[in-house]
Amino acid sequence: MSDRVLLTGISGYLGGHTALALLAAGFTVRGSVRNLAKAEAVRKTLEKHGGDVSRLEFVALDLMSDGGWVEAMEGVRYLVHTASPFVLKMPTDKTELIRPAVEGTERALNAAFAAGLERAVLTSSMAAIAYGHDKSRTEPFTAADWTNLEGRGVNAYIESKTLAERRAWDIARSAGREIDLVTINPAGIFGPLLDEDPGTSVAGIQRMLNGSVPAAPRIPLVVVDVRDVAAAHVAALTAPEAGGKRFPMGESTMFLFEAACVLREAFPGHAGKLPRFEMPDWGVRIYALFDGDVRGLLGELGVRKSLDSTPTIGLLGRPLIPARDTIVATGESLIAQGLA
């Protein structure tokens, strides 16, 4: 069997970086897209960033359809499942997020284990670890923690990631393959873009740079670099000690205004557009009545939480990229792409 990896969600922000990391490590990558019409654009983007696209192939898969999953696993040794919906503005019907996240995970893992793949690496999230807990908690959240879905501030996205990861571990246990599953649980993913699509998490930095955030709410960013998250997925495929484990990833935490100060120092030409002060919490709650993106984040207003990334640092064999450097790299990329 070849060292071929089925990578779901290759056209996404993390998916693209993960494809580059896999190709750089010598793997053959079979990337899934919902529509093969996207394949050529993804190929060109990865080639532009140095990817060896001679070892790149594509397959059409849909998280909500059974079609193609069995065939997609043929000749594949590993699965990296990054595909899952991610939004800031919560839908009226939460199942719009939950069903694709959970059912996509079911389809990917059931097909992988049925085909005898050696290991599956699932992109989970800090959302499955650090929410619904008491606001007074100050110690970092660890791989042993799970989000309390009955707790405060749990929105549809948090619920979708928690239920999807729990379902993944249930499937692995039922198949007797728990040791062959690894989950990567990143916080907010930032860093350089590969194309002109800022994605969801980077869009917050974009909004600050383009002047659409006049004052910064006290919303925390637990920052991790997309390049580190991609590298962790690749390392988790073959590291014997990674099997059956969860890997939280968050380098450090800053509030939005702290991130704005980093951007102001790095990009003085954009200083006039960046927020100059922190909005009081009562003002944020009023503002959220008119801004769905902010409304979905009210549960975390003023809560500075953190993750214990020690296991991930051990997996990578190096420290994580500092959050400040990640925020600067995000800004540089947005400006270079003409998005700021």
Catalytically annotated residues: 161
DSSP H or E segment with residue 166: helix 156-174
Token digits of residue 86: 């991610």
Q: Can you tell me which residue has the tokens 């042993």?
A: 144
| Strand, coil or helix: 147 | coil
Going by C-alpha positions, the residue among 160, 45, 146 that lies closest to residue 91 is 160
| Helix pair angle (95-114, 156-174), 10° resolution | 20
Asked if 205 contacts 254 with a C-beta cutoff of 8 angstroms, the reply is no
CA distance 263 to 251: 18
The DSSP code sequence of 27-53 is -EEEEEESSGGGHHHHHHHHHHTT--G
Q: Which amino acid is at 283?
A: G
- The separation between CA 68 and the C-alpha centre of its own chain, rounded to angstroms, equals 25
Order the strands of the 28-33 sheet from edge to edge. Answer: 56-60, 28-33, 4-8, 78-81, 119-123, 181-186, 246-249
CA distance 331 to 254: 16
CA distance 89 to 96: 12
Asked if 147 contacts 128 with a C-beta cutoff of 8 angstroms, the reply is yes
CA distance 23 to 101: 26
CA distance 94 to 73: 30
Asked if 308 contacts 248 with a C-beta cutoff of 8 angstroms, the reply is yes
